[in-house]
Amino acid sequence: MTGAAAENLTFGKAINAGLRAALADDPAVLLMGEDIGQLGGVFRITDGLQDEFGEDRVVDTPLAESGIMGTAVGLAYRGYRPVVEIQFDGFVYPSFDQIVSQVAKLHHRTHGAVTMPITIRIPFGGGIGSPEHHSESPEAYFVHTAGLRVVSPSTPQEGFDLIRAAVASNDPVVYLEPKRRYHDKAPVDLTAPLRPLGPAALAAQGSDVTLVTYGPLVKTCLQAAEAAAADGASLEVIDLRSLSPIDFGLIESSVRKTGRLVIAHEASRTGGLGAEIAATVTERCFHWLEHPPVRVTGFDIPYPPAKLEHHHVPDLDRILDGVDRALGRPNSLDSLDPFAAPVPLGSTSDHTSGA
């Protein structure tokens, strides 16, 4: 194989290619999930893999997520590397107990004697007009759980690279697929060497504001960077790729340069990734910050019905509004919370902006 063999692939096909490579590389790898065999999954991410590798490597399971996850644990005990598909984000919860109490903890419980090299693939996020439970962003639950690694690719190449890295990892990895980007196309180098799971990527260089994001919003944030440039603001966009652990090194060096931080995600705000990043950057880069970190996120509501989802999911305009705030330009929060804007110390008296 030659390194020049970049193929134009959709995001979905790139993940499919990564799974194919993982199955071909290691007989211990097996795929489990609902409708992943003959159908190829409801998003066709496993399309053709059962035909190629057989029903004992690409396994249609009974309809029970706790069953899928719990048996994956047993298979891992036996030396297998299960890659399980959860059909949609909102259906992971029946398996939550197995993930949190078993998958995440067994390595620790056994003093490292037992590894849980399980990859948990979850199409996540909104924007495709789905019914309830089909558009959620559950990453914070997993990031909050010690013992799990959590990643989310944002491009076809990352989709390919990260699924291979996830399957190769000896830790359990929650692999969150931004489902509304499945049809995005880009060249993918299928001969790329296996790379580590952790590092974030500098998706766009800039000097005025650091914009941190991941998964489905990377594309939107890059569009925001273009729009901001036309408005005279230079955004540095960081694609986290790994949500646990977070590559704070890259974020810190960027913030030390820009002095301003905006974090964007679809997931709701309270207790989300934005909070963690804002807190850590404030702890570590306080003296470089020229404005408090700004979060642009989904609201603290259940993911809404499809007709309203475009209000909930941060779009270009809402991200730019957050950027304006970080830059001290006029923005939507001015009248609600004037004191979040930089003001000279000692000049505030009546703090009335609510809790």
Ligand X SMILES: Cc1ncc(C[n+]2csc(CCOP(=O)(O)OP(=O)(O)O)c2C)c(N)n1
Enumerate the active-site residues. Answer: 134
Euclidean distance between CA atoms 223 and 204, whole angstroms: 10
DSSP structure class, residue 23: H
Q: Which of 112, 302, 328, 342 binds other proteins (CB under 8 A)?
A: 302
Regarding 54 and contact with other proteins (CB under 8 A), the answer is no
Cβ-Cβ contacts under 8 Å for 236 (sequence gap 6 or more): 202, 204, 205, 206, 207, 209, 210, 211, 254, 257, 258
Regarding 61 and contact with ligand X (CB under 6 A), the answer is no
Q: How far is the CB of 90 from ligand X (least distance, A)?
A: 7
Regarding 259 and contact with ligand X (CB under 6 A), the answer is no
Q: Which of 130, 137, 145, 169 binds other proteins (CB under 8 A)?
A: 130
Regarding 128 and contact with ligand X (CB under 6 A), the answer is no
Regarding 114 and contact with ligand X (CB under 6 A), the answer is no
Euclidean distance between CA atoms 10 and 281, whole angstroms: 35
Euclidean distance between CA atoms 249 and 238, whole angstroms: 11
In terms of CB distance, is 67 or 292 closer to ligand X?
A: 67
In terms of CB distance, is 25 or 300 closer to other proteins?
A: 300
CA distances from 157 to 30, 163, 261 (A): 22, 10, 27
Backbone angles phi, psi at 55, to 5 degrees: -70, -15
Cβ-Cβ contacts under 8 Å for 216 (sequence gap 6 or more): 125, 127, 154, 178, 179, 180, 181, 266
DSSP 29-94: EEEEETT-SSS--TT-TTTTHHHHH-TTTEEEPPS-HHHHHHHHHHHHHTT-EEEEE-SSGGGSGG
Cβ-Cβ contacts under 8 Å for 285 (sequence gap 6 or more): 252, 255, 256
Total number of residues that touch ligand X (CB under 6 A): 6
Q: Which residue is associated with the tokens 């007009």?
A: 129
In terms of CB distance, is 34 or 266 closer to ligand X?
A: 34
Q: How far is the CB of 143 from other proteins (least distance, A)?
A: 21
Q: Which of 6, 26, 57, 60 binds other proteins (CB under 8 A)?
A: 60
Regarding 185 and contact with other proteins (CB under 8 A), the answer is no
In terms of CB distance, is 86 or 188 closer to ligand X?
A: 86
* Residues 159/185, Cβ–Cβ less than 8 Å: no
Residue window 73-92: x/- pattern of binding to other proteins, with contact defined by CB under 8 A? -----------------xx-
User: What's the distance, CA 312 to chain centroid?
Assistant: 17
* Residues 127/135, Cβ–Cβ less than 8 Å: yes
Euclidean distance between CA atoms 255 and 284, whole angstroms: 10
Q: Which of 39, 44, 47, 91 binds ligand X (CB under 6 A)?
A: 91
Q: Which does 315 bind (CB under 5 to 8 A by kind): ligand X, other proteins, none?
A: other proteins
Q: Which of 24, 63, 114, 128 binds ligand X (CB under 6 A)?
A: 63
Regarding 94 and contact with ligand X (CB under 6 A), the answer is yes
* Residues 151/162, Cβ–Cβ less than 8 Å: yes
User: What's the distance, CA 169 to chain centroid?
Assistant: 17
Q: How far is the CB of 352 from ligand X (least distance, A)?
A: 45
Question: What residue number has its CB nearest to ligand X?
Answer: 91
Regarding 227 and contact with other proteins (CB under 8 A), the answer is no
Site for other proteins in 89-108 (CB under 8 A): 90-91, 93-94
Q: How far is the CB of 145 from other proteins (least distance, A)?
A: 20
Regarding 96 and contact with ligand X (CB under 6 A), the answer is no
Q: How far is the CB of 4 from other proteins (least distance, A)?
A: 33
Regarding 220 and contact with other proteins (CB under 8 A), the answer is yes
Euclidean distance between CA atoms 53 and 118, whole angstroms: 19
Chain contacts with ligand X (rule: CB under 6 A): 34, 63, 65, 87, 91, 94
Chain contacts with other proteins (rule: CB under 8 A): 34-35, 37-40, 42, 60-64, 66-67, 90-91, 93-94, 126-127, 129-134, 180, 220, 223, 269-270, 299-302, 304-313, 315-318, 321, 332-333, 335-337, 354-355
